[in-house]
Amino acid sequence: MRKMETFDGYERPDGSVGIRNYVAVIPTVACANGIVGMIARAVPGVVPIYHGHGCGRAVEIEMHTRTLAGLGKNPNVAAVLVIGLGCETINAEGLALAISVTGKPVEFLSIQDKGGSRKTAALGMEIVRKMIDDAKRIERKPFGFDRFCVGLECGGSDAFSGVTANPGVGLAADWIVDAGGTVILTETTEMIGTSHILEKRAESPEIAAEIHRVIAEAEKRADDILGPLASLVISPGNMDGGMSSIREKSLGCIIKGGSRLINEVIDYGTTPAKKGLVIMDGPGYDMESLAGLGATGAQLILFTTGRGNPAGFPLIPVIKVASTRRLYRAMEDDMDINAGVVLEGESLEDVSQEIISLAKEVANGRQTKAEINDQDGIVCLYTMNPAF
Amino acid sequence: MKPNVVIINLRDNVAVILEDVKEGDIINLPNGKMFTARSDIPYSHKVALKDIEAGGYIYKYGEVIGAVKENIRKGDWIHTHNLDIEAKVEE
């Protein structure tokens, strides 16, 4: 009998499994970023989740709160320190409480209560040093790939993204789903024109209706905001690149989700209840999309690119799949996989095998190029309305 | 000969050109078969893999991406000039 394939991950108290073992420091509000930075610079190994929000907004507060909570709950995170200010909309204690349902160690400090920046940072350093010592005691154990959850992203696409990198990732996505794992396809804007195709793959009529709704809303939003310019979602560059319609362009995007049934549609930054292929409603903008994927609990992100996007994400390894050898060569320090070999006669199956095998190694601890480059930076939360 | 096109899905009746071809150039399929390009086709654009009557569907990614506005011959360039992308699809 064939031995079940496994990866060595970190089990969390809620039963989820991480492929990294980070201690995160999350500010409730951008005003606290400086203190988070003091802590992160003083204690190597801590991951700061800098972001630009937490206050001054009405519509997005619930979404931003759940997204920050989702990042703290992500299985790649062993423990969390929340740094609040005191007068912001997102409450530090509330955010800490939302993360603590996972059973992982969570603490919070509010700058206005603790005597200002330096005193808060000093207290924070003490807390995260202890959290890091405790996290080091968690050992990797083998788990089946049914515990694997992978987010998908494409950014800086070119004419071959939909021919090489995306179909290659699509076959890898099918492999993960068939292994019992979870794959999250997002970027609703890039599904416009393919609603009827995705609806046919829905697991139930209710899911089909959800797919229809989120894509129709994305299309309406583009029409309402951009008017006649909405058609620029399919840019002249796409036409020059051989795309005859927005549907054809979108087919090249959604193919990275593979070919399996769609089991669930979730809101931006929420955790799926089902396994298998899941759609997260979210923007096409890479950086905001990555934040939403991080909050779903994805342990790994497969990111295809044609023009060459170097971005990674704190907490989550990002595997970059280049659509051409030209890009792979031009940005070899950033690209993990050259899917351009398809243009040289290798099969999509070969590329998908390479992606799967690297994903397994990364799950076991191998660093991606984005990790080696410390490509974390600021976390961009999805916004749809002006601040007040 | 090395293939100079990619066929993404077995159901497709177009292939994606990997490097610019001129009218009369040979299209080499991954299965070893070959035919002639009937017009200049830029790389990453689509070439018809068979004759298709006006109104027939074009399949790429295994899905309909439109209907052709005129009779198409194997080797023709398929793009906005001969593809009705608004065509109603009945499958």
With a pLDDT cut of 90, the percent of chain A lying above it is 85
How far from the centroid of its chain's Cα atoms is residue B75's Cα?
7
Query: Is the four-CA dihedral B73, B77, B82, B87 of positive or negative sign?
Result: positive
Residues in B whose CB is inside 8 Å of some CB of A read 2-3, 6, 8, 16-18, 30, 42-46, 60-61, 63, 65-66, 78-80, 83, 85, 89
What is the pLDDT, as a whole number, of residue A1? 45
Nearest to B42 among A160, A197, A242 (CB): A242
Taking a C-beta distance cutoff of 8 angstroms, is the pair A193, A250 a contact?
yes
With a pLDDT cut of 70, the percent of chain A lying above it is 97
The answer to whether residue A257 neighbours chain B at the CB level (below 8 Å) is: no
- The backbone torsions φ and ψ at residue A92, rounded to the nearest 5 degrees and listed phi first, read -65, -45
Tokens standing for residue B20: 């610019």
Query: Is the four-CA dihedral A67, A69, A73, A79 of positive or negative sign?
Result: positive
DSSP label of A162: T
Q: pLDDT tens digit string along A295-348?
A: 999 999 999 999 899 999 999 999 999 999 999 999 999 999 999 999 888 889
The residue-averaged pLDDT of A55-75 equals 95
Nearest to B45 among A242, A251, A345 (CB): A242
Selected residue of A174, A191, A248, A348 to mutate for chain B interface (largest B Cβ count, 10 A): A248
The residue-averaged pLDDT of A6-25 equals 98
Nearest CA in chain A to B30: A345
Position B3 pLDDT exceeds 70: yes
Tokens standing for residue A42: 């003083």
Name the pLDDT band for A237 (thresholds 50, 70, 90).
Answer: low
Give the closest residue to A262 by CA, choosing from A288, A281, A290.
A281
Q: pLDDT tens digit string along A132-145?
A: 999 999 999 999 99
ipTM of the complex: 0.92
Q: Name every residue whose Cβ is closer than 8 Å to that of residue A346 and which is 6 or more positions away in sequence.
A: none
What is the pLDDT, as a whole number, of residue A234? 52
d(CA B29, CA A383): 46
Q: Centre a 10 Å sphere on the Cβ of residue A24 and count the other Cβ atoms it contains.
A: 26
**Is B44 within 8 Å of A242 when comparing Cβ atoms?**
yes
Q: pLDDT tens digit string along A363-380?
A: 999 999 999 998 878 999
Q: Centre a 10 Å sphere on the Cβ of residue A301 and count the other Cβ atoms it contains.
A: 23
DSSP label of A257: G
The residue-averaged pLDDT of A68-82 equals 98
Tokens standing for residue A231: 């058609």
Partner residues linked to A304 by β-bridges: A154, A321
Tokens standing for residue B35: 């035919």
Weakest mean pLDDT among A84-93, A232-241, B51-60: A232-241
- Give, to the nearest 10 degrees, the angle between helix A92-100 and helix A61-73: 50
What is the pLDDT, as a whole number, of residue A315? 96
The answer to whether residue A197 neighbours chain B at the CB level (below 8 Å) is: yes
Q: Which fold is adopted by the domain A6-136?
A: Rossmann fold (3.40.50)
DSSP label of A114: T
The number of CA neighbours under 13 Å toward the Cβ of A226 is 13
**Is B61 within 8 Å of A159 when comparing Cβ atoms?**
no
Q: Which fold is adopted by the domain B5-84?
A: 2.30.130
Q: pLDDT tens digit string along B48-88?
A: 999 999 999 999 999 999 999 999 999 999 999 999 988 77
Give the closest residue to A43 by CA, choosing from A167, A155, A108, A132.
A132
Nearest to A245 among B2, B30, B66 (CB): B66
A172 Ramachandran zone, left/alpha/beta (phi>0; psi -120 to 50): alpha
Nearest to A244 among B8, B16, B80 (CB): B80
Position B91 pLDDT exceeds 70: no
Selected residue of A343, A346, A350, A351 to mutate for chain B interface (largest B Cβ count, 10 A): A343
Name the minimum distance, in Å, from the CA of B8 to any CA of chain A.
7
Name the 3-class secondary structure at A136. helix
Tokens standing for residue A100: 């603590």
With a pLDDT cut of 70, the percent of chain B lying above it is 98
The answer to whether residue A242 neighbours chain B at the CB level (below 8 Å) is: yes
Position A89 pLDDT exceeds 80: yes
Give the closest residue to A307 by CA, choosing from A101, A100, A85, A158.
A158
DSSP A342-370: GGGT--HHHHHHHHHHHHHHHHTTPPPHH
Nearest to A160 among B2, B42, B44 (CB): B44
pTM exceeds cut of 0.90: yes
What is the pLDDT, as a whole number, of residue A246? 83
Tokens standing for residue B5: 């096109």
